[in-house]
Structure formats: structure tokens, C-alpha cells
């Protein structure tokens, strides 16, 4: 039976690009900027990175570019003594053969886990059933060379929401070790973290929304942590929320008033700054990496058709909430 990833904070990192190259009709990868960001996150103490996920614009990358990203970042982590930082690879493919192939290449490049996004092309046309989706995931897990985490993100999968009955069934597969839930349904988080029908020791629940971390970690034994975009520039704050929340859960809430006050203040501030990502998504994360960390993300930010020109104009409106979390981050 496969081993789940360690509990903690993981970052779905954006993919950094250089300026548009007319001869190639695209923005080339910017490996130096990618490595600078990777090492910043590793030094802050995150448990792992998700490369080539939704935030990493996997759908805008070739397989060769995905392999280059993973191998280059794995090499940088090992060279700097951060070989304990876990790499999860996104798949974002619609068919089983391609998904399994992407996982194989990702493993060879240095990934330890596969974050498998739900296939969804025909979801809006009524083409999927729970039985079909279950069989798809089971086939991927049967043939995957890496342990699998189910990635439920309705916003990028034609609003396809995986049912609780399906998730419970998938949790029993020996090669499926957890899930990332990128939706606002806390009831599903709680049930999947607490249900007696799920083997919590090997199926771990990660929220994709850092604003839900405190309630998730207090919800049940299967709660593991967060895979969160705002942690791309404020990792220490979310790591601190995780540590306090785990301590509170282990003590059945019997901790000092000061610790309760701190975790509530941190979660509130972090949730407010998350509204930036709620509004601007991947491009917003890149803009914040540029503004907060001073790392160049290229003039265009994301790959076309992404365009970040509208994002910078909104920065001043959000600046106070960024400054509030930055104060916490500096203290940590």
C-alpha cells in the first residue's frame, strides 16, 4: 500500500516565463526565476511543491516542458540540501494513457506524488456518470507509478463536483493516498476527514484554500493541511496556522487563550489576503510574487491567452491586507 505525503503546507507554484518569443510563438520557461522561488519556499519550511498543476498552467505546457520544470527544480532542491521537500506533479489530462504517461515521466524527473485532476471535457454535455468517473480514476491508480491524490477543482473542470460516495470509494484504493479539495464546501471537507468509511491513516485530506485551514484541521483525523496559492509568497503564516491548529486539535482545544487568539488573528488576516487569489487566480499569484518577493515573473506573467495588465491596476485596493500579513510574516 502506498504511503501518503506528510501532513503540512504545500505550494502550487506558478510557472515562470520569459518575455514573448515571436519565433517560438510563446513565452519560454524562466528556470532561474523558478529556482529562485523554489529555494525561497524550501527555506521557509514548506513540506512540498506542486509543479505543473492548475496554478502552474499545466494546460499551457508541453510534456517536455513539464519534465524540464520538475527535473530542474528537483536538482536545485537536492543541491541546496532540501531533498526532503516533496514534489507533486499535476497531470491535467483527459485520457487514461496520457495521464499514466505524464505520471511516468514526472516520476523519472523527480516527482514523488501525482495530483490527478478530474477529466471534465464532456461534463457540461451530460456525458459522465459516477460509475465512469470511478472506473477512470481506478484505472489511473492501477497503472500509476506514483501514489495518486484526487484533485477536485470544479472551477476548472466544467463545474464537475465529485460526490462523497465516489470519494469514499476511491479512498480505499491502495494507490490513492489523498485528495485536494479546491472548493468551498466545508461539509465535504469535514465528512472526508471524519467518516468511518475512509481509512484516514492512508487517505489524507488537503484543502486547496488556505482560508479553510483552521476549520479543516479541527474537523477530523484525516485532515492533513493545505495546498494553497497564497503560500507562494506568505508561506510562514500558513505554516504557523497549521502548527497551532494541529496543537489545538491534539489537545482537544485545551490550549492557552493566547494561542487561540493568535490562530484566530492569523487565520482572519490570511483569509482576507486570500481574496486576491479568489479574484485573480493564477495571474494574481504571479503579480503578488513579483510585488511581495521581488522575483521577476516576465512582462506577460502567464502564457497567452493569460494577460495580467488588469491585475496591477487593482494592487492598491488590496495593499492594506497584504501589509497586515506581511507584518506577521516578518515576525515569523
Residue 2 counted as domain residue:
no
The rounded distance, in Å, linking the Cα atoms of 24 and 185 is: 42
User: How many percent of the chain have pLDDT more than 90?
Assistant: 87
Within 13 Å of residue 146, how many CA atoms lie on the same side as its CB? 29
Give pLDDT tens digits for 28-58.
999 999 999 999 999 999 999 999 999 999 9
- In the annotation, is 113 catalytic? no
The rounded distance, in Å, linking the Cα atoms of 282 and 15 is: 10
For residue 320, what pLDDT is reported? 96
Residue 287 counted as domain residue:
yes
Stronger pLDDT, 124 or 60, i.e. the higher one? 60
Q: Which of 74, 107, 180, 236 is catalytic?
A: 180
Give pLDDT tens digits for 80-116.
999 999 999 999 899 999 999 999 999 999 999 999 9
Residue 3 counted as domain residue:
no
Within 13 Å of residue 310, how many CA atoms lie on the same side as its CB? 7
* CATH number of the domain within which 103 lies: 3.20.20.70
Domain tally for the chain?
Answer: 1
Stronger pLDDT, 298 or 268, i.e. the higher one? 268
Give pLDDT tens digits for 198-210.
999 999 999 999 9
For residue 221, what pLDDT is reported? 97
pLDDT higher than 80, residue 20: no
- In the annotation, is 128 catalytic? no
Ranking 18-22, 183-187, 262-266, 322-326 by mean pLDDT, the lowest is 18-22
Give pLDDT tens digits for 133-189.
999 999 999 999 999 999 999 999 999 999 999 999 999 999 999 999 999 899 999
Ranking 15-19, 211-215, 222-226, 235-239 by mean pLDDT, the lowest is 15-19
285 known member of a binding site: no
User: How many percent of the chain have pLDDT more than 70?
Assistant: 98
Q: Which of 113, 128, 137, 151 is catalytic?
A: 151
pLDDT band at 311 (very low <50, low <70, confident <90, very high): confident
Give me the mean pLDDT over the 212-219 stretch. Answer: 96
Q: What are phi and psi of 21, to 5 degrees?
A: -110, 110
For residue 308, what pLDDT is reported? 65
**Are the C-beta atoms of 124 and 158 separated by less than 8 Å?**
yes
The parent domain of residue 240 ranges over 8-331
Residue 126 counted as domain residue:
yes
Q: Model-level pTM?
A: 0.96
103 known member of a binding site: no
Amino acid at each position: 500500500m502506498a504511503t501518503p505525503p506528510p501532513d503540512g503546507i504545500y505550494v502550487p507554484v506558478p510557472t515562470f516565463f520569459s518575455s514573448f518569443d515571436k519565433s517560438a510563438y510563446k513565452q519560454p520557461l524562466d528556470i532561474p526565476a523558478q529556482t529562485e522561488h523554489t529555494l525561497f519556499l524550501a527555506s521557509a519550511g514548506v513540506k512540498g511543491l506542486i509543479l505543473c498543476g492548475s496554478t502552474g498552467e499545466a494546460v499551457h505546457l508541453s510534456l517536455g516542458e513539464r519534465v524540464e520544470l520538475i527535473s530542474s527544480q528537483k536538482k536545485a532542491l537536492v543541491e541546496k540540501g532540501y531533498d526532503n521537500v516533496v514534489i507533486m506533479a499535476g497531470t491535467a489530462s483527459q485520457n487514461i494513457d496520457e495521464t499514466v504517461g505524464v505520471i511516468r515521466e514526472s516520476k523519472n524527473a523527480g516527482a514523488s506524488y501525482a495530483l490527478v485532476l478530474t477529466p471534465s471535457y464532456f461534463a457540461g454535455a451530460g456525458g459522465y456518470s459516477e460509475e465512469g468517473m470511478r472506473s477512470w480514476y481506478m484505472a489511473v491508480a492501477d497503472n500509476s507509478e506514483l501514489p495518486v491524490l484526487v484533485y477536485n477543482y470544479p472551477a476548472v473542470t466544467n463545474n464537475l463536483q465529485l460526490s462523497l460516495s465516489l470519494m469514499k470509494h476511491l479512498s480505499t484504493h491502495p494507490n490513492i493516498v489523498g485528495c485536494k479539495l479546491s472548493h468551498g464546501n466545508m461539509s465535504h471537507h469535514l465528512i472526508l476527514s471524519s467518516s468511518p468509511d475512509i481509512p484516514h491513516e492512508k487517505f489524507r485530506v488537503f484543502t486547496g484554500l488556505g482560508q479553510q485551514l483552521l476549520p479543516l484541521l479541527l474537523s477530523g483525523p484525516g485532515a492533513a493541511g493545505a495546498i494553497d496559492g497564497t503560500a507562494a509568497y506568505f508561506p510562514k503564516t500558513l505554516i504557523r496556522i497549521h502548527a497551532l491548529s494541529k496543537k489545538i486539535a491534539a489537545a482537544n482545544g485545551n490550549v492557552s487563550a493566547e494561542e487561540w487568539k493568535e490562530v484566530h488573528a492569523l487565520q482572519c488576516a490570511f483569509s482576507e489576503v486570500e481574496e486576491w487569489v479568489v479574484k485573480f487566480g493564477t495571474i494574481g499569484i504571479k503579480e503578488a510574487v513579483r510585488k511581495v518577493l521581488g522575483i521577476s515573473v516576465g512582462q506577460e506573467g502567464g502564457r497567452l491567452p493569460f494577460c495580467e495588465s488588469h491585475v496591477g491596476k487593482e494592487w492598491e485596493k488590496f495593499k492594506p491586507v497584504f501589509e497586515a500579513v506581511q507584518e506577521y510574516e516578518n515576525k515569523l
